[in-house]
Amino acid sequence: DDKPTLNMILNQRSQDILAANNWNVCQYAILLMMVAQSVDMIPGELLHVIADAHIYDRHVDIVRELIVCGTQGNAQPRCA
């Protein structure tokens, strides 16, 4: 395919890792795919830069449990 690739950089000032990180990654990945589709490009990489990534004290036990659980595979979102 001769289409150019569209990459995206998300610079974020602050991020609550437990409450918002997964949602932010998904929504910006889909935004990348939507923009790429609308300008006839191939969606490429999403680079997520967080200046202040934090886990609140009350979330530490939950985060530890999530780390032990591991990953469940990779989702493959698509824009129809």
Output the pTM of the full model.
0.77
Q: Evaluate whether residue 19 is within a structural domain.
A: yes
In 10 A of CB 25, how many CB atoms?
Answer: 13
Host H or E run for residue 5: strand 5-16
Q: Evaluate whether residue 78 is within a structural domain.
A: no
Q: Evaluate whether residue 77 is within a structural domain.
A: no
Q: Evaluate whether residue 63 is within a structural domain.
A: yes
Q: Which domain holds residue 55?
A: 5-69
Per-residue pLDDT in tens (0 to 9) along the chain, 80 residues: 699 999 999 999 999 988 888 888 989 999 999 999 999 999 999 999 999 999 999 999 998 998 888 777 777 777 66
Domain count, the chain: 1
Q: Evaluate whether residue 75 is within a structural domain.
A: no
Q: Evaluate whether residue 74 is within a structural domain.
A: no
Q: Evaluate whether residue 79 is within a structural domain.
A: no
